[in-house]
Structure 1
Amino acid sequence: MTSPFASKLGTNYYPLDDEVLEIRALLVEPLSRLKRLDDQIAYLQKAIDELAQERESVRTFVDSHNELISPFRRLPLDIIQEISVACLPTHRNSVMSAVEAPILLGRICSSWRAISLTTPRLWSRLHIVEPSRLGVADAVFEEKLAQRVETTKTWLGRSGKCPLSISFQGCPDIPVPPGAISNDVFIPNTSHLFMQAIIPFTPRWQSITLCASSMVLETLSSITEDDVPLLQKLVISQHFGTASFLTLPPPTFALLRAPKLIDLTFGGSHANTQNLPIRWENLTHLSLMGYSDSSLTCRLVLQLLARCSQLQSCSLYFHQDDNSLPLTDEAGRTIELPFLHSLDISSVGFQPNGLGNVFRRLSLVALRHLDLRGHRESGLENPSFVTDLLAFLGVSLCFESLKIDTATFTTSSLTELLRGLPSSTARLHITGTFSWRLAPANGILNGILYDDVITVLTPTPQNPGICPALQELHIARCMSLSDEALLRFIKARMTAAHPTLRKVVITFSREMQVDIAQDIQPFSDDGRLEVITTYAQPPQPRAVGSFSPWQGLPDAPELADWAPMDDF
């Protein structure tokens, strides 16, 4: 359509009176046409709406009948049960929450609920969290406590005859508020209520993990070895902050003599560990986690290991107070553990002499993984310690992974260790510290990770042979390691004749100084290398509810991600 006023459209022009009449006359036909178009659109829209409504009705009819012939509806019951079991967490026990299996499965439909309630394997694994009194009204706490105890009984009651895996996260004793009776008085926890709920199921215990106070040991003292014929794994540790330290069970603690017990973890005092009624010769995993005064010494460690000929993995946290341990004690024989592939040693009061003697007494030909941690005392130096450690690793033909804490070494001894590692070493984990202690003997800062350390691992034309099979490097808590040194390491490893490096994970305790992302991007683009660098960020508050059923688990979600299970 053309208009004599085209040049005036979109401007601030104000028409004259006769022009207004002309414009009105001009719009008579367009207005009439606009109305006809609106009527036509409305007619067509009505037809479309009627067709859409009819289509929805037909689609509902078709979908509802297709559901009847869905292949999934014809799955055998055992297949549906297997799918349900596959929904369970594999790295931990299930929790009392409706946001994950098995409870979630019962909320899909009535059929799935019936299947879940009649599938014992879904209820054979349970993580129990004792509710905390802190910041909670007594009535609310009592209600939550009663619900958790009752849920425990109901849950395990659904497990049929399946072997049980149970983990329990207890609460520490809570001190009485100031002014009430005495500040040294503690309100006892309620762990015994949960123990009483799970003890009737002892014939089906297979894996039991308990994190609680010494009251738990008292509750379990009545259990005999005949009561736990299936028990293979037992973990008893202390919740941080409990009023009374977890003491060693007495020699009459028959639970430890379970006929199938092969995996044992105990945290507490170990002064008389060798007197416990344990079938040491059956153990394939042993973990003794103590305190600085636990009396788990180098001498005792050797005595225990000599009795565990079937060990495959071992974790020890002990106090080294016998650094003059004679090499000729116990008939002077070398302790051979032909099946032990993983060894984790954490030491309080680190004494190179004592630990060096332990390494000289052990022969672990199958060792693949070593985790060594301990804070070397200021001014304490023993050049033979690294020599003993390297000799110990040298007989391990399958060695491939080392995790160390830089606080165990000076910078010079750490670089010496790295230079002497077996050529088969494929994974290296190094954790730095924030210690600024000086070693007076050589003036080297202890525990600080400098460029010197990663430079040792950086191949050069003159020295390309250090850890030639290295595939992964993990470094945590880097304060003094520079971005440039890291870049040199990556470039040198990836441009070598036969590059083996596949993954680098570095956690810096500082802000970024040099962005190396573009320089290493070519190695990541072709899929040969994964590099993860994390720099210091302002701390973020993280709140987990006091009633969280995930408490004590490594993957506990944040408060906003879960809702209390109020209708189990």
Structure 2
Amino acid sequence: MQSPVPDLLQTTAALSPSQSKTIREFLTHSAEPELARLEAEVERLQGLLATATAARDAQKSFTDAHRALLAPIHNVPEDVLRLIFLETLPRNRDAALAPDEGPLLVAQICRFWRNMALNTPRLWASMNVSIPRAPPGGHSAKVSASSSPAMLGMVSLWLQRSGTVPLSITLSAVPGDIHFRVPRDLQQLLVSNAARWRSLRVPLYYNVATIHRLAALTGAQLPQLQELSAYHMDAGSWNDPSAGWGLGGAPNLRSLTFRGHMAALSAVCAWAQLLKLHLVLCSGDISSTMNGLFVLPLHILEGCPLLEDLCFEWNGPAAHVVLPETPTTLTLLKLSRLAMHGIPSYILTSLSKRVDWHNVEAVAITFPRYAPSPLDYTWNVTSVIRVGITSLQLSGSHVRTDTLLEILDALPMIVELSLGQEPDQQPQMTTSLLGPDYDRDVSFLQHLTASDDDEIYCPRLRRIRLQNLSAVSDATIVEFLLSRLESRDSEVATLSHASFGIVRERQLDIPAKLRQAKDEGRELDALAWLQLSTQYPVPEKRAVYSPKDGIPDDDPVEDGFVFSLACA
């Protein structure tokens, strides 16, 4: 369309009366009618496009629905599909009663999967019940089902859907909740299914003697119980600790984690069949005390010939624990995993002379919190550490770099290393009453950094976990990881798992730096299967009840380690 006044367009020239009249007539009879026609055409075409788009989307959904029928998942037999569902459950804990995991997750996919989930009892037989906070000042008498009817209803539903299969149950709560109580209705609900318990875990800070319905159970009522974790210290056992503890008398118990009176446990437990034994020793256990000193209950081990996993944990002063006079010799030929937390060095040395545990492959040691001297942790390496050890975890008090390197030098076969914190440099002696000053060693990781020129410690290392890092920089971590991932013609193994718990602010994006190095040409084929976890401080969130309260966040990297992070 031609303009009647092309020379005036895009100018600021003043119009004459005749020019104004010409433009008005042009707009009225030509430009505006044409614009209206085009707008109508656009609207018509948009309508056609919308109709075609809707038809296309509907046809696509229709086609995809038919194409989905050819998906391999539809050819999976129902029994195999049920096994796949079971593999979605958390590996290292029971399933939370939450919609984002376990049976509630797979039941959301489609009607068929929902029906399959509802008819798979084993899928509902694992439950981590997070107890809501009790009201401030609340007591067990005041905490009932009314505190969380939704939680009770969910537990009841899971128990119903689990049919008659064995149950795995964990009770948990918000960490530090001193008002933690198990509602009476929940006690009754769980105890009514006690004959089906395969596993029961109760927080070790909560005395199950106060859970009256649980405390009243006997071993005969727990025919399927194989794993038990609990704290029990009955007030009556102060006078008669040998009276026994019903839960500990389960006839088929294979794994036991216990805190409380050892005498009460000794009276009933079927030790001969235990495979795993974790004992949290209490200074208040009068049945194990002599002249004010706690006597390590070695007599228990005499009856555990099949034991594969042993842990002693002591939280009291290091000088207050001693070994008994007997037994003088013990043989634990099946033992492959050993953990000693808070046990002083002289006890470890003496214990190693009494016990034959030469098949141990994994060792975890937490140094005493209350050591007699600042250097008590420089214990004799050969007392517990053996050449054949493949997994080592050290945590607790300060460890000097030279001591750590001495330990690692004695472990040429080590595949897994976990440290609770960075080691310290050589202490500088001062006149301070506090003793020597320690500084975190910012460069200790360089001793583990692979090089073509120098020999390194732990050449077979495949898994490493370092916690509470404050001095080591992110750049040093990146350098270490690159050296342990890069392909080279040497005997240095490549890492498969690496976990770093860092207590300072983030300096680098470590995963991004590794990918950048690979993009720049570094031979990092092993990066594709590296399980890497880097954790930094996060702001605290407002406390709101969640069915996952008290349950540690899942970290797939942790699945590869022998000892759990809770032991660090």
TM-score by length of 2: 0.74
Q: Which residue of 2 aligns with 1:203?
A: 195
**CA-CA distance at 1:71 after TM superposition:** 9.2
Task: Say which SS state the counterpart of residue 330 (structure 1) adopts.
Answer: coil
Instruction: Give the drift of 1:216.
Output: 4.5
Distance 1:492 1:57 in 2: 54
Q: Is the partner of 2:193 in helix, strand or coil?
A: helix
* Residue 468 of structure 2: aligned partner: 477
Match of 1:183 in 2: none
Q: Find out whether 1:405 has 2:395 as its counterpart.
A: yes
Distance (whole Å) between structure 1 residues aligned to residue 176 and residue 482 of structure 2: 54
How far the C-alpha of 1:123 sits from its partner, in A, is 2.6
Secondary structure of the corresponding residue to residue 15 of structure 1: coil
Q: 2:218 is matched with which residue: 218, 221, 224? A: 224
SS at match of 1:194: helix
- Contact kept? 1:174, 1:189, Cα under 8 Å: no
Shift of 1:201: 1.9
Judged with a 3 Å threshold, the aligned counterparts in structure 2 of structure 1 residues 40 and 191 are, in CA distance, closer, same or farther, namely closer
SS in 2 for 1:235: strand
Report the counterpart of residue 386 of structure 1 in structure 2.
380
SS at 1:340 equivalent: coil
Residue 456 of structure 1 deviates from its aligned partner by: 3.8
1:468 to 441, 459, 467: 459
Distance 1:126 1:205 in 2: 11
**Could you tell me whether the CA contact under 8 Å between 1:224 and 1:255 is conserved in 2?**
yes
8 Å CA contact retained: 1:324, 1:353? no
Q: Cα distance, 1:153 vs. partner?
A: 3.8
Tell me, what secondary structure is at the counterpart of 2:207? coil
Report the AA paired with residue 226 of structure 2.
Answer: Q
Quote the residue 1:362 is aligned against.
Answer: 355
**Cα shift at 1:198:** 1.8
Rate the CA distance shift 1:145–1:276 in 2: closer, same or farther, 3 A: farther
Q: Is 2:425 the partner of 1:426? A: no
Aligned residue identity for 1:426: V
Taking the aligned partners of 1:251 and 1:163, their CA distance within structure 2 comes to: 29
Match of residue 339 from structure 2: 344
Higher mean alpha-carbon deviation, 317-326 vs 254-263, is at 317-326
Q: How many Å apart are 1:61 and its aligned residue?
A: 8.1
Q: Give the alignment's TM-score, normalised by structure 1.
A: 0.74
* Matching of residues 20-39 of structure 1 within 5 Å: 20-27=20-27, 28-39=29-40
Alpha-carbon shift at residue 197 of structure 1 (Å): 1.7
Indicate the residue corresponding to 2:564 in structure 1: none
C-alpha displacement of 1:262 = 0.5
**Shift in Å, 1:417:** 2.1
SS at match of 1:407: coil
Over 3 Å counting, the alpha-carbon distance change for 1:545 and 1:476 in structure 2 is same
Q: 1:497-517 CA distances to partner (integer Å, 9 max, x unpaired)?
A: 444242554444334679998
Aligned to 1:414: 404
Q: Counterpart in 2 of 1:543?
A: 542
Cα distance, 1:337 vs structure 2: 2.2
- Report if aligned partners of 1:407, 1:433 keep a CA contact under 8 Å in 2: no
Match of 2:560 in 1: none
Q: Percent identity?
A: 22
Distance 1:207 1:330 in 2: 33
Q: Displacement, 1:162?
A: 0.8
Query: What one-letter code is carried by the residue in structure 2 that aligns with 1:416?
Result: E
Amino acid in structure 2 at the alignment position of 1:362: V
Identify the residue that residue 280 of structure 2 maps to in structure 1.
289
- In the alignment, which residue of structure 1 is the partner of 2:566? none
Distance 1:468-1:362 versus aligned 2 partners, 3 A rule: farther
Aligned to 1:560: none
Correspondence for 1:152: 155
Distance change in 2, residues 1:198/1:511 (3 Å):
closer
Structure 1 distance, partners of 2:307, 2:145, is 44
Structure 1 residues 72 and 552, CA gap change in structure 2 (3 angstroms) = same
> Pairwise mapping of residues 224-373 of structure 1 onto structure 2 (< 5 A)?
224-237=218-231, 250-270=242-262, 272=263, 275-291=266-282, 293=284, 300-318=296-314, 319=316, 320-321=318-319, 325=323, 329-330=325-326, 332-333=328-329, 335-347=330-342, 351-373=344-366
Rounded to whole Å, the distance in 2 between the matches of 1:485 and 1:62 is 53
Paired letter, 1:522: A
- Segment drifting more, 144-153 vs 158-167: 144-153
Deviations 1:362-386, CA, capped at 9 Å, x for gaps: 3333323222112362634359723
Q: CA deviation at 1:435?
A: 10
CA distance in 2, matches of 1:69, 1:469: 46
Q: Distance between the aligned counterparts of 1:458 and 1:56, measured in 2?
A: 56
What is the Cα deviation at residue 230 of structure 1? 1.4
Q: CA deviation at 1:152?
A: 3.2
Cα distance, 1:191–1:363 mapped onto 2, change above 3 Å = farther
Q: Which residue of 2 aligns with 1:162?
A: 165
Moved more, 285-294 or 146-155: 146-155
Say whether the 8 Å CA contact 2:298–2:327 is kept in structure 1.
Answer: no
SS at match of 2:18: helix
User: Does structure 2 conserve the Cα–Cα contact (< 8 Å) formed by 1:380 and 1:439?
Assistant: no
> Quick one: which amino acid aligns to residue 266 of structure 1?
F
Among 504, 507, 522, the alignment partner of 1:510 is: 504
The amino acid across from 1:157 in the alignment is: Q
Structure 2: gaps (5+ residues): 556-568
Distance in 1, Cα, partners of 2:513 & 2:542: 36
The structural deviation recorded for 1:424 is: 1.0
Structure 2: how far apart are the matches of 1:8 and 1:173?
Answer: 81
Provide the aligned C-alpha RMSD in A: 4.9
Contact 2:259 2:279 in 1 (8 A): yes
Structure 1 residue 68 displacement after superposition: 9.8
Amino acid in structure 2 at the alignment position of 1:368? E
Which stretch of the first structure deviates more once superposed, 314-323 or 156-165? 314-323
> Any gaps of 5 or more consecutive residues in structure 1?
176-186, 558-568
In structure 1, what is the Cα distance between the partners aligned to 2:296 and 2:504?
A: 41
Task: Specify whether residues 437 and 228 from structure 1 end up closer, same or farther in structure 2 by C-alpha distance, changes over 3 A only.
Answer: farther
Q: Is the 8 A contact 1:106 1:116 kept in 2?
A: yes
* Aligned counterpart for 2:441 among listed residues 444, 447, 450: 450
Q: How far has the Cα of 1:404 moved from its partner? A: 0.9
> How many positions carry a matched residue from both structures?
529
* Other structure's SS at 2:296 match: helix
In 2, the alpha carbon distance for the partners of 1:484 and 1:105 equals: 41
Task: Write the distance in 1 (CA, Å) between the matches of 2:351 and 2:475.
Answer: 39
Residue 566 (structure 1) aligns with: none
8 Å Cα contact 2:421/2:468 also seen in 1:
yes
The answer to which of 456-465 and 222-231 deviates more is: 456-465
Provide, for residues 208-256 of structure 1, a one-character-per-residue CA deviation record: whole Å limited to 9, x for no partner. Answer: 1123334356433443333222111111148xxx999999975432432
Assess, with a 3 A threshold, how the Cα gap between structure 1 residues 531 and 510 changes in structure 2: closer, same or farther: farther
Taking structure 1 as reference, are residues 208 and 455 closer, same or farther at Cα in structure 2, changes over 3 Å only? same
Residue 124 of structure 2 is matched in structure 1 by: 123
